[in-house]
Amino acid sequence: MNRNKIYELIIIGAGPAGITAAVYAARKGVECLVLTIDVGGQAAWSGDIENYTGYQFITGPELAAKFEEHVRKYNVEVRENEAVEELRREGDAVRIRTAKGEYTARTAIIASGKRSRELAVPGEKEFKNRGLTYCATCDGPLFAEKDVAVIGGGNSALDAAMQLMKIAKHVYVVNINPELGGDAIMREKVIANDKVTVLNSSQVVEVIGESFVEGIRVKTDGKTGTLPVQGVFVEIGLIPNSELAPEVDKNELGEILVNCQTETNIPGVFASGDVTNVIEKQIIIAAGEGAKASLKAFGYLARQKMGINSRAQDA
């Protein structure tokens, strides 16, 4: 590693936003480094995708593979298994620290996405990866012909239920709200399936078992009962991976605040995708925001080269 090297652009994350930003940067001839835990991000965890333009149907892992195939065609340096711990602005440079080293760039795009929100109930930590998981795409096949529970009532929970009802013996959907949320077409598919039981106005209070999950305790209308399940899939929302940028302004949810040009409050630092406050967390929206961020970073670099330090709009 050349510690004295200064990249034109460093992109944090390689989900739909980060990958798209990298492709656009490469096409503009911007020297770019991508730092990421994995390639594909949350898109790789999705099940069936039917609303990504150009694909009437594609699975999450297949789309993630297409993303990676696309970015590998360009001269983009991608470093996987390297999580960013801190990003700070120092003078005209952006300093980025990981567990493996430090990097310097003239601009940066934060596309670090979100992570699964935890239940915060007794037994969750003890049974993590022992029957309790946060990814139906990753771990669903392990529960073939078993009774499982999906915790949540939004699109991510519905997606998990749709994947599991093809594999599991029976699927319980435990939803804290009075009704399921998410897209109508997904709700209809889940409710109509004979292998699915929806428990609305219900809350998990404990995960139980010996060596592995054997059930969950659920409170409904003030009464607590036990569901005998061997698998628990937690799908109660996501938390933005924004802690790495302490100087960047965020909202009450921890999402990075950006304007319509993907600019943060720090000059030269842009953000895109699910880590930001942009409405609707969708793969196609994240990809579009990644393209915008890359184009804005290119414009910022061009103005710097001309000695223009304003945040004026590009023509």
**Is the distance from CB of 302 to CB of 127 less than 8 angstroms?**
no
Q: Which of 88-102, 199-213, 253-267, 295-309 is predicted least confidently?
A: 295-309
Is 310 inside a domain boundary?
no
Domain span including residue 184: 118-234
284 belongs to a structural domain: yes
Here the tokens at position 9 are 């652009």
| 80 and 144 both lie in a single domain | no
Active-site residue, from 92, 138, 249, 314: 138
Please say if the pLDDT value at position 284 is more than 70. yes
Contacts of residues 276-280 at CB distance under 8 Å and 24 or more positions apart, as own/partner, are 276/240, 277/251, 277/253
CA–CA dist 42, 141 (Å, integer): 18
Answer yes or no: do 36 and 125 share one domain: no
Domain boundary among 234, 258, 289: 234
Tell me whether residue 218 is in a domain: yes
What secondary structure, in 3-state letters, does 17-46 show? HHHHHHHHHHHCCCCEEEECCCCCHHHHHC
Q: Do residue 102 and residue 179 come from a single domain?
A: no
| Judgement on whether residues 185 and 254 belong to the same structural domain of the protein | no
Count up the domains in the chain and report the number. 2
**Same domain, yes or no: 283 and 216:** no
C-beta separation of 38 from 304 below 8 A: no
Residues 264 and 196 in one domain: no
E strands, the chain, are 6-12, 32-35, 48-49, 58-59, 77-79, 84-90, 93-98, 101-110, 114-116, 132-133, 147-151, 170-174, 196-199, 202-209, 213-220, 223-227, 231-234, 238-240, 269-271
Active site residue 139: yes
Q: Does 315 fall in a domain?
A: no
Residue 139's pLDDT band (boundaries 50, 70, 90)?
Answer: confident
CATH code: domain of residue 72: 3.50.50.60
Annotated active-site residue in 139, 159, 274, 314: 139
Flag whether 272 is in a domain: yes
Residue 135 among the catalytic residues: yes
d(CA 182, CA 184): 6
41 and 136 inside one domain: no
Residues 137 and 29 reside in one and the same domain: no
Which listed residue (135, 183, 249, 274) is catalytic? 135
DSSP 223-234: EEEEE--SEEEE
pLDDT at 200: 97
Evaluate if residue 272 carries a pLDDT over 50: yes
101: in domain: yes
Cβ(241)–Cβ(234) under 8 Å?
no
Residue-wise pLDDT for 190-226, tens only, equals 999 999 999 999 999 999 999 999 999 999 988 999 9
Q: Are residues 243 and 111 in the same domain?
A: yes
pLDDT value for 280: 86
Same domain, 32 and 169: no
Question: Do residues 151 and 180 touch, judged by C-beta distance below 8 A?
Answer: no
How far, in Å, CA of 114 to CA of 282, rounded? 12
Domain boundary among 199, 234, 269: 234
Q: Is the pLDDT of residue 10 over 90?
A: yes
Note if the pTM is more than 0.85.
Answer: no
> Would residue 226 count as lying in a domain?
yes
Residues 164 and 296 in one domain: no
Please check whether residues 24 and 94 belong to one and the same domain: yes
Domain-terminating residue out of 209, 234, 259 = 234
Other CB atoms within 10 A of residue 169 CB:
15
d(CA 201, CA 256) in angstroms, rounded, equals 32
N-terminal to C-terminal alpha carbon distance within the chain: 37
- Taking only the tens place, the pLDDT of each residue in 158-188 is 999 999 999 999 999 999 999 999 999 999 9
Residue 312 has pLDDT above 60, yes or no: no
Which of 149-163, 240-254, 272-286, 299-313 is predicted least confidently?
299-313
